[in-house]
Structure 1
Amino acid sequence: MTRELAPPARLTEAGRAEAADWLAGLPGLVAATLDRWELTPERVAAPGGRASMTVLVRRADGGRAALKICAPWHPAAREEAALRRWDGLGAVRALRCDPAAGALLLERLRGETSLRSLPEAKALLEAVSVVRRLWVEPGGPPGGTGGGEHPFPTVEEWTAERAARLRDGELAAAEAEPLVAEALALRDALLADEPERLLLHGDFRQGAVLASDAERAPWLAVGPEPVVGERSYDLARLVRDRLHDLVASPGAAAITRRRLTRLADSVELPAERLRGWALFRAVESAGRAWSAGRPAEAEALLEFAAWL
């Protein structure tokens, strides 16, 4: 059997209590998948994410690829469905999937180089160029257009449990209560008047767009949390990119509002809808960071939300 590979520290530290057994069995699961798919490991991608482990591998034919093992709360089948739907247009390609094992075999990108390596203005331009390609109808054949059945939750369904946890969480009982109340009210209002239902990346940010050697595009998106809803929801996560740099900048509030306006104008979206989703997503993320014992991150997110 292929030698076992240890999960990166970031995934282990972020592991949920209910996933302790999965984390303990992850090295064995990785090794078994490598053997079954005849893959030769090169190294574990680090620092990695909080919901998956990625191993850079060689296939039996010598081709390079990346084996991603998804955590139980990040279904591999749903990610594969989104990648198949995009069929390489703006996103990494899926080569193989085993939903039961949470395993995805992906084309290899240059994981050490994301849009965060570019100057901010250039990075935002490239990010918008990539994300616009991902906004397609959720159903239909790979790479095509049209409606039809699909396996993706709507933004309303995806955010319902998160909104409930935010409403009942520690932030709602603390000094952040006014921001929590505003975030929840904005979510309700935005969902009551949703203008479109497109397939969205769901977690789109500069760090989720990697350099590619593929001839079809220099930058490709990875790691989707695919949902169906309006474009403003997808763009909202991008508004707070490089948050630590923003927090340290003089005039951070004005910079943030200008960035929001530029992003909305770049894809002809109402700035108020983008502001609403950006605020909700920041406050909701702050609630999760606080519950996970990351108070500094939570405070930065709340400060960002206050600028909006």
Structure 2
Amino acid sequence: MATAPIEPPQRLVSSLSGDPESPAGKWLAALPTLVQQQLETWDLTLERVHAPGGRSSLLALVRQKDGTPAALKFPAPGHLHEAEALEIWDGWGAVRLLRTDGTTGALLLERLHGAVSLRSLPEAKAFLEAAGTVRRLWVQPDPQHPFDTLAGRTKEAVESLRWAGPLVPTAAPLIDEAQELRESLPATSDEHFLLHGAFRQGKVLAGDRTPWLAIGPTPVVGERAYDLAALVLDRFEDLMAGSGAATVARRRVAKLADSLEVDRDRLRAWTLYRAVDAGIRESAAGDRRHGELLLEFAAWL
């Protein structure tokens, strides 16, 4: 049992401590107590809190009563239905969910090798393994599923584009195109797959049960090209530093689309949308350089 006070990692504190009266602020203040209570309820022994960790959850490395290693996760408010997605996948391509607490939101997960992600592999091998992993996650959910749809999730995102767009006036044509794509893409797709929602190489960790497993989904239901678009953007800074970067970017779209039997034009469109969305968000948050690189990448498509 853990007896020492539990301190959330500084990265999580910095991300969520803006308004102490907000749901996220209140959750953060209560988090040390929540973790301690969950350790006692599930008879877990704390090894350590994972650091630097993420910006939207706390992860603690623990031991179960029989000594088996596991990971205890507390997602921040607003990160919904991770447990339901993991239950559907049941360890197929994703980390296995061992237990969940509907009251506290706690998830007990199988222990993976957190220091070893697909980003540790050479680029070609990493993309190959990533494609094989994400393919396993694309399953048909029950018609009564609880997950967001792409139309609903991107509607909120496009409102942010309208608000933040004036901060980057030179990106107005790209923003207009991204908004048009957001309207047309969900309406013209007949795919209804359960998607990871935030898939990228850093979200795939080494495991013991199988070599690579996805973590940290923000599940959404829609077409596969949306998930794959984030993979197109992976390591885009490295791509941009090379020669013939624009051609290489378009070739990456074609190669990933063909390897997973996804329409090239739709993958290109979703990649442009996600690049513009991320670029505007980064610029609005103060990282103008990274935001401008994302917008430049979008323009190449």
Same fold (TM over 0.5): yes
Return closer, same or farther for 1:285/1:264 CA change in 2, 3 Å cut-off: same
- Output the amino acid matched with 2:88: R
Match of 1:80 in 2: 83
**Selected match of 2:240 from 247, 250, 253:** 247
Match of 2:27 in 1: 22
Task: Give the Cα–Cα distance (whole angstroms) in 2 for the partners of residues 107 and 41 of structure 1.
Answer: 15
Q: CA deviation at 1:102?
A: 2.3
Query: Which residues of structure 2 form unaligned runs of 5+?
Result: none
Task: Give the Cα–Cα distance (whole angstroms) in 2 for the partners of residues 31 and 288 of structure 1.
Answer: 35
- For 1:244-275, what per-residue CA distance to the aligned partner results, in whole angstroms no more than 9, with x for missing partners? 32232232222211111100000111111001
Q: CA deviation at 1:21?
A: 2.3
- Output the amino acid matched with 2:7: A
Query: Tell me, what secondary structure is at the counterpart of 1:21?
Result: helix
Bigger shift: 6-15 or 106-115? Answer: 6-15
Match of 1:210 in 2: 205
| Match status 1:157 vs 2:160 | no
Task: Give the Cα–Cα distance (whole angstroms) in 2 for the partners of residues 100 and 174 of structure 1.
Answer: 45
Match of 2:76 in 1: 71
Match of 1:178 in 2: 173
% of aligned pairs identical? 55
Task: Give the Cα–Cα distance (whole angstroms) in 2 for the partners of residues 171 and 47 of structure 1.
Answer: 33
- Output the amino acid matched with 1:137: Q
Using the size of structure 1 for normalisation, the TM-score is 0.91
Q: CA deviation at 1:285?
A: 1.6
Match of 1:45 in 2: 50
Using the size of structure 2 for normalisation, the TM-score is 0.93
Query: Tell me, what secondary structure is at the counterpart of 1:99?
Result: coil
| Match status 1:264 vs 2:269 | no
Q: CA deviation at 1:284?
A: 1.1
Match of 2:9 in 1: 8
The answer to whether the 8 A contact 2:155-2:182 is kept is: no
- For 1:81-132, what per-residue CA distance to the aligned partner results, in whole angstroms no more than 9, with x for missing partners? 0001011111111111123322111000111101001101001111111111
Match of 1:145 in 2: none
- Output the amino acid matched with 1:178: P
| Match status 1:227 vs 2:220 | yes
Map 1:69-218; keep pairs closer than 5 Å. 69-75=74-80, 78-139=81-142, 148-171=143-166, 174-214=169-209, 217-218=210-211
Q: CA deviation at 1:181?
A: 0.7
Task: Give the Cα–Cα distance (whole angstroms) in 2 for the partners of residues 156 and 174 of structure 1.
Answer: 26
Return closer, same or farther for 1:220/1:291 CA change in 2, 3 Å cut-off: same
Return closer, same or farther for 1:171/1:106 CA change in 2, 3 Å cut-off: farther
Task: Give the Cα–Cα distance (whole angstroms) in 2 for the partners of residues 158 and 99 of structure 1.
Answer: 23
Task: Give the Cα–Cα distance (whole angstroms) in 1 for the partners of residues 240 and 101 of structure 2.
Answer: 41
Task: Give the Cα–Cα distance (whole angstroms) in 2 for the partners of residues 11 and 296 of structure 1.
Answer: 23
Q: CA deviation at 1:171?
A: 4.4
Return closer, same or farther for 1:172/1:229 CA change in 2, 3 Å cut-off: farther
The answer to whether the 8 A contact 2:118-2:204 is kept is: yes
**Selected match of 1:58 from 35, 60, 63:** 63
Query: Which residues of structure 1 form unaligned runs of 5+?
Result: 140-147
The answer to whether the 8 A contact 1:282-1:301 is kept is: yes
Task: Give the Cα–Cα distance (whole angstroms) in 2 for the partners of residues 208 and 13 of structure 1.
Answer: 21
Bigger shift: 129-138 or 296-305? Answer: 296-305
Query: Tell me, what secondary structure is at the counterpart of 2:267?
Result: helix
CA RMSD of aligned residues (A): 1.6
Q: CA deviation at 1:22?
A: 2.0
Match of 2:293 in 1: 300
Return closer, same or farther for 1:247/1:91 CA change in 2, 3 Å cut-off: same
Task: Give the Cα–Cα distance (whole angstroms) in 2 for the partners of residues 182 and 225 of structure 1.
Answer: 25
